[in-house]
Structures are given as structure tokens and as C-alpha cells.
Amino acid sequence: MKKSIIKSSGMFVPPNVITNHDLEEILDTSDEWIRQRTGIEQRYWIDSEGVTGSSDLGFEASKKALDNAGWTPEDLDFIIFATLSPDIMFPGSGCLLQAKLGLNSTPALDIRQQCTGFLYGLATADAYIKTGLANKILLVGAEVHSSGLDKSTRGRDVTVIFGDGAAAVCIEGVETDETAGVLASALHADGNFAEALMTELPASRLPLRMPPDVPLDDARYYPVMDGPAIFKKAVRMLPKVIKESLEKAQISLDEIDLIIPHQANMRINQALGQFLKLDDDKIFHNIQKYGNTTAASIPLALHEAMEQGRIGKSGDIVILTGLGAGLTWGSVIYKFL
């Protein structure tokens, strides 16, 4: 059976850096308050010109990943696009990206699993490769949060967290007797907690998606989060799902070279390390530079960890894990060939 091998990666963030001090100018907040509660120092937001949609960011990241793999867009058998911030209501951003790549028949799949979108996408790509449905797959996570945030003091708890960005990986099915590629995945969801992290409007469950009696600055048009509930769920479920994936892969935590969690909150990542009794250098953090880029955060961190030489050598094993809106959570174990 073919193994799903990550051939390359690429990332892109818009040039507009927003520091915590910049947010002090528009919100009743402070650099100290943001750092203490999230670990974030800055994030990137789009501006009104140039690259503005999630497929635009995904396109820039995809070009870099394709170049690094030595592939052309025509080599692709399948495109998987993970985002909670599509360019438009429909069609999906995967089709928009496909067109920007100059393609006109390559299948494209959109995944709306928010913070765990890349994990669901990687498991899907692995299944497509192992069943022979595709052999060269482009998996993208891309988000544009900044155009949908409540940039008033009312929304500060959420607004300070999120950033824009994209990252992509090229995945290929490779015939090898080596134990490599995606070793195991464990995915879960619990829709009973859907309202703990959501954007309510516009909503197709209403007679009118944008009710005329609801002003456009109504809080329901912006993301809301029950921070304590999400934090408690994350610190409980992430260690469990990591253990589940380790059992599936039949390896021990001691064999893991690096854990890359979804970059939601530095305190969550630190609590995960404490629960698993791991040294600080075993868990990768870059939330301080990018904020929470949801579907883009795991591949963006994976790309940087590879660029820094933290992982990427033959035999290195990494755990990718995260929890987010849905609620959804999961873990994927990957071994470099």
C-alpha cells in the first residue's frame, strides 16, 4: 500500500503586521493583557488592496509549496481546501483556488472543520491515496479573519486572537516498505457545543439570511466564543486524542520528536505539555507571531518547524493536534520518509 508523504510545504501571510500596541489604539485592551491571556504579540491582517480573499492567500502559499515539490498545477489529482472564512458564501474557495492555478477539471473539496480543518484534510488525503483515488494532492489551510471581526471593545476578547494567513502542503503516494507517512489519525466532533464558538449570521436557518430588523453591527454577525469552556475542553480532550492516535500507531510518546498543536492559545499549548509531562522544546509554538489562523495554523507551524530544522529528517515523528469550533478535535501522527 502506498504511503502518504509530505513532499513540500509553503506559507503566506499578508504584509500588514498588527501588533498588540496597534490594537490598543482601537480597543480597550493592552499589550500586557493580550500577552498574559493568549501569548500573542502580533498578527497579520489583510489590507484593502492586493491579496484579500482566503483563496488568494491559499494561492500564494500553494505556489510556494508546488515550487518546493517541483510540481506544476497540472500534476495535481486533487485539491483539498480547509477554511472557515470562504471568499464568498458559495461556491467553495477550493474551486476558486483551482481556477487561480489555471486548472479546469481537477476536483476540489472544501472542508469546514475550522481549527481542525487541516487534520481532517490530511486524513482525507491519506484515505484518497491509500484507496488509489488520487496520488498527488494539494492540501491548503487558509483564513481571512480580519474582515469579519468586531473591532470594538465589545468584541475585544475574540478580535485580539485571530490573524490572517495560509499554508499548503503537497502530498504524494509513495511505494515504500518503510514505516512512513501518516501513521494514524483520530478525529472527533461534538455538535452539542456548537454555540460555544460560532458566528451566527448570516444564517440559512432563518427565513432571511440577513434579517432586515437586525443592524449590520449586531454582535451575531461576529464570532463569539465561550473562552473558559473551550479552554477546559481543549486541555481535557487533546491529551486523550493524542493517546488514542499513539495507540493506533502502536508507538509511545517517547518516540515523538515534536508536537505541533493548533495555535489557539499559548496557555492551552503549555497546559498540554504539562499534562503530557513533556519538556518545553517538545511542543512547537508560533502563536506569538501569527495569532490564531485556525485552519492555517497547523500547516503554518509545520512549515516553520521544518524550515527551522526542528523536524524533517528521515525517521522524525510529529504529532499534529487541535480543537476548535464544532466542536471538533483530532490528532494525526506523521513520520518523515
Q: Which of 20, 265, 269, 292 is catalytic?
A: 292
Q: Is 115 a catalytic residue?
A: yes
Active site residue 188: no
Radius of gyration of the CA atoms of the chain, in A? 19
How far apart are the C-alpha atoms of 335 and 313, rounded to whole Å? 9
The three three-digit cell numbers of residue 249, written as one number: 500507531
Q: Is the peptide bond before 91 cis (omega within 30 degrees of 0)?
A: yes
What gap in Å lies between CA 65 and CA 10, rounded to an integer?
A: 4
Catalytic residue among 95, 115, 170, 269: 115
d(CA 97, CA 112): 16
Q: Can the peptide bond before residue 327 be classed as cis, meaning omega within 30 degrees of 0?
A: yes
Q: Decide if 241 contacts 252 (C-beta within 8 A).
A: no
Compute CA distances 138 → 25, 79, 113, 297, whole Å: 40, 5, 17, 16
Supply φ then ψ for residue 11, to 5 degrees. Answer: -140, 160
Active site residue 95: no
Give the DSSP per-residue string, 111-165.
E--GGGHHHHHHHHHHHHHHTTS-SEEEEEEEE--GGGS--SGGGHHHHTTB--E
Interior/surface letters 80-109, b for 16+ CB within 10 angstroms, e for the rest: bbbbbbbbeeeebbbbbbbebbebeebbbb
* CB half-sphere exposure, 279, CA atoms < 13 A: 6
- Residue of 95, 170, 262, 303 marked catalytic: 262
Q: Which amino acids are annotated catalytic?
A: 115, 262, 292
